Amino acid sequence: MNKILWCKNCILPSTRPNLDINKETNLCSVCDPIINKSKKINWEKRKKEFQNILKKIKNKYDVITFNKVIEHVKKPEKMLKTAKSILKKNGIINIEVPDVLAAALKHVPIAEYNPFEFIKTNIVGTQNLVEAC
């Protein structure tokens, strides 16, 4: 009988159907590519590209909408400042956040496979947004 392995990120067991645990990284087949992809990204290059885009679109938009997005951002205050910089003088930023209770009660199949990530992005993310404001 094989020893049960656990993903060190989401703690899913190797007994879960269609899930493999990488023995070198101790990450499951869902978490491993996500975590390792972020290590390969040249963030400094991406930042410069983004800054160039912002220069081109500065003071261009009348309305910017964040529809259930901002609670997933690590630094929402920085994102809002960036959004403000590309608005026209009397522009509007419309922010919609999820109803945390409804999200917690809604049946989302992915939440069954990674409940900690579900809670982190929906509840903790919204809490971070509130604290940032």
| 91, amino acid identity | G
Q: What integer pLDDT is reported at residue 42 of this predicted model?
A: 82
Residues 44-77: pLDDT tens digits?
888 899 888 888 888 889 999 988 888 778 888 8
Q: Please give the mean pLDDT across all residues of the chain.
A: 80
Angle between helix axes 76-85 and 125-132 (nearest 10 degrees) is 60
Distance CA 16, CA 7 (A): 11
Q: Where are the alpha helices (DSSP H) in the chain?
A: 31-40, 43-57, 76-85, 100-105, 109-113, 115-119, 125-132
DSSP 71: G
Residues 12-25: pLDDT tens digits?
888 888 888 988 88
